[in-house]
């Protein structure tokens, strides 16, 4: 069982839709992350939140908008996505430099 | 820039054999490495990690070896089982983010 919970597990959305991905962790980790993973590729970092503040944005298009309401929650708001944005979106949390990262099971997003 | 890569994209082994998955990294300043296992439809699962001040670390049926001289990392799985079939990623941890290698698919045959 994962300690990082992502919802929904699957999402199909049109290019004009607005949707949100949600992530929750209760491990007390102070850093949370969004990764994007295309088929047969490694995860690619999108955003990093540290102590609820955005610390890294890996030049992600503005149609992806992250939000960290509190230390346990991380959202990714989606608007006007393109079919090429279809991927597995992974959330992770980490306790700091001396600990590893725990990943959720991901949200499989399909943009039609 | 920094990069973490794998030598073999696919590895096929017989059940019960030992598996060795390799990884090369380019940043000699990297000080921490993690191996992840990812099964179809799931997120990466932590297997084992190693710091740069170590050469070897063992877990249950898994061993990670680090050769800093040639910037090479390997994951050894003893007595490979069908449940070990998955994609394995090495990852280099830099400040506040992970850089993943390309991944190796391990296929275990009965």
pLDDT digits (tens, 9 = 90+) for B7-26: 448 999 999 999 999 999 87
Do A94 and A103 meet the contact criterion of CB atoms below 8 Å apart? no
pLDDT the model gives residue B1: 35
Average pLDDT of chain B is: 89
Indicate if the pLDDT at residue B3 is higher than 80: no
Query: What is the token pair recorded at B6?
Result: 């794998």
d(CA A23, CA A17): 20
Indicate if the pLDDT at residue B4 is higher than 70: no
Question: Does residue A102 belong to the interface with chain B, where contact is any CB pair within 8 Å?
Answer: yes
Query: Mean pLDDT by 10-residue block, N- to C-terminus, for chain A (112 residues)?
Result: 87 96 93 93 94 94 97 96 97 74 95 96
Name the residue with tokens 């079939």.
B85
C-beta atoms of B96 and A45 within 8 A: no
CA A53 to chain centre: 15
pLDDT band (50, 70, 90) for residue B98? confident
Residues of B in contact with A100 (CB under 8 A): 34, 46, 49, 93
Q: What is the pLDDT of residues B62-93, one digit of tens each?
A: 999 999 999 999 999 999 999 999 999 999 88
């Amino acid at each position: 069982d994962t300690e990082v919970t992502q919802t929904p597990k699957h999402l199909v959305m049109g290019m004009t839709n607005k949707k949100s991905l949600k992530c929750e962790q209760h491990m007390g980790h102070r850093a949370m992350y969004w990764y994007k993973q295309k088929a047969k590729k490694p995860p690619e970092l999108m955003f990093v939140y540290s102590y609820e503040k955005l610390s890294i944005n890996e030049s992600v298009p503005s149609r992806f908008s992250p939000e960290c309401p509190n230390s346990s929650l991380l959202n990714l708001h989606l608007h006007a996505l393109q079919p090429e944005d279809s991927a597995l979106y992974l959330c992770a949390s980490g306790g700091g430099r001396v600990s590893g990262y725990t990943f959720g099971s991901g949200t499989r997003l399909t943009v039609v | 820039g920094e990069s973490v890569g794998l030598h073999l994209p696919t590895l096929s082994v017989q059940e019960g054999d030992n598996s060795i998955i390799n990884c090369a990294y380019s940043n000699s300043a990297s000080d921490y490495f993690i191996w992840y296992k990812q099964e179809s439809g799931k997120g990466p699962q932590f297997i084992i990690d190693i710091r740069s001040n170590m050469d070897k670390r063992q877990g249950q049926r898994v061993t990670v070896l680090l050769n800093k001289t040639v910037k090479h990392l390997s994951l050894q799985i003893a007595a490979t089982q069908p449940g070990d079939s998955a994609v394995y990623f090495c990852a280099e941890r830099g400040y506040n983010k992970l850089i993943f290698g390309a991944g190796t698919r391990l296929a275990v045959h009965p």
